[in-house]
């Protein structure tokens, strides 16, 4: 539209007056550029306004999460008398969102170096049981002991040092195995891979 009107204006100037034609022409080009800036800005403003409700809802949700109080409190224990053991004593548990017990009166002991498998139908509580050992939730009854100490008595760091948790989904490493380094490199890095390897093959770390 701008260029269409502009062309008409330039054309109206007699061809002999080339200086005026040029001035008109450049004015129109500059005007066109400025008009584009203005339109772009308005478009951006419209985009911002359109996205505002989504941003508002997201902010609300984020602040909800940030303001959620941690239902698990840490204690002060850092030492474990019985290294590498896990014990459940009369554990019962139901999720906060439902009153029905998922686990009832579960008791067992696992010694260092032992491997235990829990077998059960879907929804029987295997994942729940393991997440209790890692204290993702607090038991509703009974106690869970790791290294001979109630998991509630540990500091968070001490507990994380003693429990490694690998989920059903393969989310542990990204990329391929070669990229992660050779077996020796990974062992030398220590930490999780070494723990995993040592626990599987019973080598003292
Ligand atoms: N976050 C949760 N909130 C409420 N109930 C849950 C929650 N997670 C699991 N449940 C319920 O607890 C019960 C046990 O679930 P869990 O995931 O421990 O079973 P599972 O034995 O691991 O099953 P699967 O073999 O499918 O992995 C199920 O009835 C499930 O609906
Ligand atoms: Mg499961």
The count of domains in the chain is: 3
Q: Give me the domain span that covers residue 142.
A: 73-165
Domain boundary among 31, 46, 67: 67
- In this predicted model, what pLDDT tens digit does every residue of 146-156 receive, in sequence order? 998 999 998 98
Q: Which ligand is nearest to the CA of 126?
A: 1
Give the pLDDT score at 188: 78
Say whether both 77 and 156 belong to one domain. Answer: yes
Planar angle of CA 77, 79, 83, nearest 5 degrees:
130
Say whether both 108 and 141 belong to one domain. Answer: yes
Q: Which of 171, 165, 119 is nearest to 146 (CA)?
A: 165
Give the pLDDT score at 175: 67
What are the start-end ranges of the H helices in 17-89?
Answer: 18-67
Say whether both 142 and 77 belong to one domain. Answer: yes
CA–centroid distance, residue 125 to ligand 2 (Å): 7
Which residues surround the ion ligand 2 when the cut-off is CB under 5 Å?
127
Residues of the chain with pLDDT under 50: 204-205
Rg (CA), the chain: 34
Say whether both 100 and 160 belong to one domain. Answer: yes
Say whether both 54 and 36 belong to one domain. Answer: yes
Is the whole model's pTM more than 0.85, yes or no?
no
Pocket of ligand 1 (CB under 6 A): 95, 97-98, 102, 120, 122-128
């Amino acid at each position: 539209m701008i260029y269409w009107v502009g062309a008409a204006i330039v054309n109206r100037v007699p061809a002999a007056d080339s200086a005026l034609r040029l001035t008109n022409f450049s004015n129109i080009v500059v005007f066109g550029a400025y008009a584009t800036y203005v339109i772009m800005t308005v478009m951006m403003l419209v985009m911002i306004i359109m996205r505002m409700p989504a941003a508002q809802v997201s902010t609300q949700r984020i602040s909800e999460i940030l303001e959620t109080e941690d239902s698990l409190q840490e204690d002060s224990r850092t030492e474990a008398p019985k290294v590498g053991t896990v014990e459940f004593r009369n554990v019962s548990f139901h999720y906060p969102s439902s009153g029905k017990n998922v686990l009832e009166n579960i008791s067992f002991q696992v010694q260092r170096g032992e491997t235990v498998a829990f077998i059960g139908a879907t929804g029987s509580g295997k994942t729940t049981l393991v997440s209790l050992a890692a204290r993702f939730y607090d038991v509703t009854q009974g106690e869970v002991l790791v290294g001979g100490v109630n998991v509630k008595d540990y500091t968070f760091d001490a507990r994380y040092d003693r429990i490694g948790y690998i989920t059903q989904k393969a989310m542990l490493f990204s990329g391929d195995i070669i990229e992660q380094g050779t077996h020796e490199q990974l062992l030398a890095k220590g930490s999780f891979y070494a723990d995993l390897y040592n626990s599987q093959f019973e080598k003292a770390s």
